Amino acid sequence: MRLPRLEQIEEAAQLIYSVMRPTPEIAWPLLASRCGTEVWVKHENHSPIGAFKLRGGLIYIDSLARGRKRPAGVIAATRGNHGQSIAAAARRHGLRATIVVPHGNSVEKNAAMRAFGADLIEQGHDFQAALEFANAQAAERGLSMIPSFDELLVRGVATYSLEFLRAVQNLDTVYVPIGLGSGICGMFAAREALGLTTKVVGVVSANAPAYALSFAAGRPVATDSSATLADGMACRVPEPSAVELINRHAERVVTVSDDEITSAMRHYFTDTHNIAEGAGAAPLAALLKERAQMTGRSVGLVLSGGNVDREQYVRVLEQPQPSIVRPR
């Protein structure tokens, strides 16, 4: 797959901005103190669905709806944010959306998808099982299967990276969470389109390390499990085309533990009063893990989403919080 060009990203932005405003980029002083460096946060948790995925869904569904043959309906598998994106975009075009989630999925993300008008099906023990079921349902019911990684999705989500890199032009490094790869590939696209040298670092959960293993091996490597609290990164079978782009364009891929992720979720609340879900907090966890080598640089963090269930978030906040480490 080729990365989207600048004119394609800007064209996507025109449609996206008819639905939502650009999200803010903010340098938080307390976060800078904690990390020991200049830190800018791209707040995709401020989108109308609380996550970056809406951008890609708007572009994909718009292209589908304007095609020669309008589908009877669409279907997608998700852990929540992709599903919200597809449900919201489908409703704009009067399309029926069926969303498949694994058993035990986020209660509040499920409720949000239903609120956008989606028919929700719970099937399978994880995302991959839900995806396989959704593919079978698409064939059986004549529905249009919406992937979680596609050039049109990348084109849409690249708009947040274009906003970020244009607004903060001196970033040395940007940390981006990896689910199936659309977000980080969108960052590559924006960086290349603007001719910048900003380093892009991918972040995965240690409990769902498929993309880290794939980066190390130079080829797609699947895992047997993806049991992480960061459901937006709970991938065990990587997308080959995403692996190819990540292995070509990423500086490195960092793994962070669930404990490091929950600490970062607390840091976002205490230092910025923003709610970050697990995947959204993972880039901060990675920066803190690499604090010594990043001191003195200008760093960007993608807070990709803030959709965490209340009960889970209460448990996270109740855990002890380390004090802020002041720079020397």
Q: Distance (Å, rounded) from C-alpha 149 to C-alpha 255? A: 21
Q: Taking residues 20-26, report their average pLDDT.
A: 98
Q: Taking residues 242-271, report their average pLDDT.
A: 97
Share of the chain above pLDDT 90, in %: 90
Fold of 6-52+151-318: Rossmann fold (3.40.50)
Task: Tell me what pLDDT residue 137 has.
Answer: 95
Which of these ranges, 13-22, 43-52, 230-239, 290-299, has the smallest mean pLDDT? 230-239
The answer to whether the CB of 119 falls within 8 A of the CB of 97 is: yes
Task: Tell me what pLDDT residue 70 has.
Answer: 84
Q: For residue 226, is pLDDT > 90?
A: no
Q: Distance (Å, rounded) from C-alpha 183 to C-alpha 154? A: 7
Distance separating the N- and C-terminal Cα atoms of the chain = 45
Q: Distance (Å, rounded) from C-alpha 80 to C-alpha 102? A: 10
Task: Tell me what pLDDT residue 67 has.
Answer: 85
Task: Tell me what pLDDT residue 327 has.
Answer: 45
The answer to whether the CB of 55 falls within 8 A of the CB of 159 is: yes
The whole-model pTM stands at 0.95
Give 159-199 pLDDT, tens digit per residue: 999 999 999 989 999 999 999 999 999 999 999 999 999 99
Give 44-102 pLDDT, tens digit per residue: 999 999 999 999 999 999 999 988 888 989 999 999 999 999 999 999 999 999 999 99
User: pLDDT class for 323, splitting at 50, 70, 90?
Assistant: low
Domains 6-52+151-318 and 53-145 share a fold: yes
Instruction: Let me know if domain 53-145 sits in CATH 3.10.310.10.
Output: no
Task: Tell me what pLDDT residue 328 has.
Answer: 43
Q: Distance (Å, rounded) from C-alpha 187 to C-alpha 240? A: 18
The answer to whether the CB of 234 falls within 8 A of the CB of 227 is: yes
Domain residue ranges in the chain: 6-52+151-318, 53-145
Q: For residue 325, is pLDDT > 60?
A: no
CA angle 156, 50, 111 (to 5 degrees): 115
